[in-house]
Amino acid sequence: MGVGGAHPGGLNLTKEIFNTEKIDGNSHVLDVGCGTGQTAAFLAAHYGARVTAMDINPIMIEKAKSRMKQYQLQVEVIQGSIEEFPLKDSTFDFILSESVLSFVNKPRALKEIFRLLKNGGRFIANELTVNEQLNPSSKEEIKQFYGLDSVLMEQDWDALFEQAGFKNVKVLMQKNSMLQNDSIPEFHSSENIDPELYTIMIQHLNILMKYQGILANRIILCTK
């Protein structure tokens, strides 16, 4: 559907987070699972940062490339998986993952992110988190629908990041629910959208309503 900012809080939350980071024109940033490239484009345009955007999905890559071309931004857009991404060790000052870790093999992806980050570099994630322990059938419903291997609580994220070697791990709770988004929605729709996708979108909204107050997100900030 070409959604820009397919993460809780949208671009406004991304802007708020980077307001407190030391990012500038000398920073090299990797946007993991960049989707259609909205965040990557913002970081390049607003801070003049050198940005690399990567995603596993060829349609996302195509949309991200066309966005960079449209706005004449020198963002490098690469298709690949963050579970194994063939770039050199210690390449990036910042790595960002906005609603991506939830969908991948987390220990493998975190190991790769740690490797790609420079010493002292920052890793920032915005990830789906449950506020309370779910009963087995609710957990299964969420895992099945979103294709997740696990549904994590705040302390689980914290433990995974610590195990991967990150320091100063800080997990921030969000005041807005997953149904609230202050950013203006953006769609770069494909010409032919499978009608099933509209059904899936409605099911997604139903799940957000059903688990309001339980299904949430956390911002996880840490340093290598």
Ligand X SMILES: C[S@@+](CC[C@H](N)C(=O)[O-])C[C@H]1O[C@@H](n2cnc3c(N)ncnc32)[C@H](O)[C@@H]1O
**Is beta strand 76-79 parallel, antiparallel or unpaired with respect to 167-173?**
unpaired
Smallest distance, Å, CB 62 to ligand X?
12
**Sole binder of ligand X in the list 103, 115, 118, 207 (CB under 6 A):** 103
**What value, to the nearest 5°, has the Cα angle with vertex 34 and ends 199 and 138?**
45
Does 60 bind ligand X (CB under 6 A)? Our answer is: yes
**Sole binder of ligand X in the list 9, 18, 35, 178 (CB under 6 A):** 35
Smallest distance, Å, CB 222 to ligand X?
18
**Sole binder of ligand X in the list 41, 64, 100, 110 (CB under 6 A):** 100
Decide if 145 contacts 151 (C-beta within 8 A): no
Distance separating alpha carbons of residues 155 and 134, to the nearest angstrom:
14
Determine the interface stretch with ligand X among 19-27, 49-57, 111-119, 141-149 (rule: CB under 6 A). Answer: 49-57
Distance separating alpha carbons of residues 160 and 107, to the nearest angstrom:
7
The span from the first CA to the last CA of the chain, in angstroms, equals 35
**Residue numbers at the binding site for ligand X (CB under 6 A):** 5-7, 32-35, 38, 55-57, 60, 81-83, 98-100, 103-104
